[in-house]
Amino acid sequence: MTATSDPRQVSGGCLCGAVRFTVTLPTLFCGHCHCTMCRRSHGAAYVTWLAVVRSQVTIDAGQDQLTRYESSSHGSRSFCSRCGSSLLCVSTRHPDVVDIPLAAMDGPIDRLPEMHVYFGDRASWTVVGDELPRLGGPTGLEPTG
Ligand SMILES: [Zn+2]
Ligand SMILES: [Zn+2]
């Protein structure tokens, strides 16, 4: 799929509906993150993120409900202060990119999950049966045995 093949827009939002946003395709990435911060902040085995250029994300409603939490020295996570849904993750390591949970989107995007990242940090009770690449190591993106 080429970068310009799918200029659709896909909307998304939080559980309560206060925060609404629109993502303009194409996305850059979609994958499952097994890092401990994702697991804890979402209360889930792992989080399926999409990544998109920041300028392709528009907050349509609820900007004032978005609360930002500095989850590390280089990253922050924004959530709906009304319902608690985790929504946006940004990092100073790639300031032009926003990560958004695929589960927050109203419909399919332009790709399916392509890999597991931070796979070595996965919960001991997480069993993965798919054939996607499993990346890990300090960056979360290195090949694992
Ligand atoms: Zn909400
Ligand atoms: Zn993560």
Band of the pLDDT at 107, cuts 50, 70, 90? Answer: very high
Per-residue pLDDT reduced to its tens digit, 69-98: 998 888 999 999 999 999 999 999 889 999
Annotate 18-57 with DSSP letters as a single string. S-EEEEESPPSEEEEE--HHHHHHHTSS-EEEEEEEGGGE
Q: How far is the CA of 73 from the centre of ligand 2 (A)?
A: 14
In the prediction, which pLDDT does 46 show? 98
52 CA distance to ligand 1 centroid (A)?
21
User: Residue 111 — very low, low, confident or very high, per pLDDT cuts 50/70/90?
Assistant: very high
User: What separation in Å is there between the alpha carbon of 145 and the centre of ligand 1?
Assistant: 40
Ligand nearest to the CA of 136: 2
Give the distance (Å) from ligand 2 centre to CA of residue 8.
27
